[in-house]
Structure 1
Amino acid sequence: MGTPTFRQAVPLDDARCFEIESTAYEGDEAATLARISKRIAEYPQGFLIMELDGRVIGFINSGCADSVVMSDESFKELVGHDAAAPNVVIMSVVIDSAYQGRGYATTLMRTFVGQMRQAGKKTIHLMCKQRHVDLYARLGYRYVQPSPSDHGGMSWHEMTMDL
């Protein structure tokens, strides 16, 4: 198996990203195809694709804001997004289920963090389920609080990283 490569998303990636997103997230928590297409179109710099042997196997997508309110559902539609703002909000971190458990999520996240540092961003924020809190803590994120968001009918935890 080859070494993963990284690139920014392009519009033609939307269907494959939606496929991965739909299998990775439960019920209503997965972003729609329209939402993924919008994120690629409006902020490709914050939409990192991971490929292995020419196939998209995972991605991270994000937006930026001056002031971060993690429970703001409209931000998932990039309402309030400003590419120049210093704070990054991750909306999805996804690895195709066929490639999970091999360290790809860690490699993907470290690459993303490096790109955001190079871009001069100050913080990265994310929400995750309880089972992922320890993973993100190992990657350098600090636990903030249980989130008031009930996105997708799930309970979430807010985490942040200072860059």
Structure 2
Amino acid sequence: MKNIRPATESDILSIAHIEKLCFPAAEAASLASFKSRFNAFPECFFVLEIDGVVVAHTNGCRFNQPALPDELFENATLHEPSGKYQTVFGLAVLPTYQSKGLATELMQHFVDVSKSRDLCGMFLTCKEHLIPFYQQFGFTNLGVSDSCHGGARWFDMRLDFL
């Protein structure tokens, strides 16, 4: 049985494991980073589980500007609980569960929850090959990002709700 739900503290080890498998070491958040983030913004963590096993996750902090400065990835205290934009730090699915539509379902859930929270929109950075994936949710490509997170080339993507 498939279920999307808010993450709990007991999910953090699974979340960190999925992250490590899905992202290059320079880009993947550490277990310590996930713990810090979860303590600061647990309401912004979601997991997708199949038969009780966490196979995918997404998270991001709230911010008052449609931006995702690199500092947000490492400093959970920059989370603004009343921020009008939901950022997306990452969306990851265990490799054995990829290409089954799970990332799409989890991202749609995150978008729907963010809309229900009366936010102005969402903001994320992604690699070029993922631009069409995020465009299907209504995100607009704003071009090459100033981000140098993990030494990669990123693109700024914004989704406006209002």
TM superposition score category, shorter chain reference: over 0.9
- 8 A Cα contact 2:66 2:158, kept in partner: no
Residue aligned with 2:54, SS: strand
Alignment partner of 1:73 out of 39, 48, 70:
70
Compute the displacement of 1:27 (Å): 2.1
Q: What residue number does 2:47 align with?
A: 49
Identical positions, percent: 26
How many residues align? The count is: 160
Compute the displacement of 1:136 (Å): 0.7
- Partners of 2:86 and 2:118 lie apart in 1 by 11
Q: What residue number does 1:111 align with?
A: 109
Alignment partner of 1:34 out of 32, 35, 38:
32
Q: TM (normalized to structure 1)?
A: 0.94
Residue aligned with 2:60, SS: strand
Q: TM (normalized to structure 2)?
A: 0.94
- 1:83 pairs with 2:81: yes
Structure 2 letter corresponding to 1:128:
C
- Partners of 1:38 and 1:133 lie apart in 2 by 29
- 8 A Cα contact 1:62 1:91, kept in partner: yes
Compute the displacement of 1:73 (Å): 2.0
- 8 A Cα contact 1:20 1:96, kept in partner: yes
Q: Deviations over 1:42-98 (max 9, x none)?
A: 11111011111100011110101112432x222112242112111111101111111
- Partners of 1:25 and 1:147 lie apart in 2 by 19
- Partners of 1:138 and 1:46 lie apart in 2 by 21
Q: What residue number does 2:94 align with?
A: 96
- Partners of 1:83 and 1:6 lie apart in 2 by 22
- Partners of 1:67 and 1:141 lie apart in 2 by 16
Q: Deviations over 1:86-141 (max 9, x none)?
A: 11111011111110001001100111111111111111001101110111112211
- Partners of 2:22 and 2:10 lie apart in 1 by 20
Alignment of 1:7-22 (within 5 A): 7-22=5-20
Q: What residue number does 1:151 align with?
A: 149
Structure 2 letter corresponding to 1:161:
L
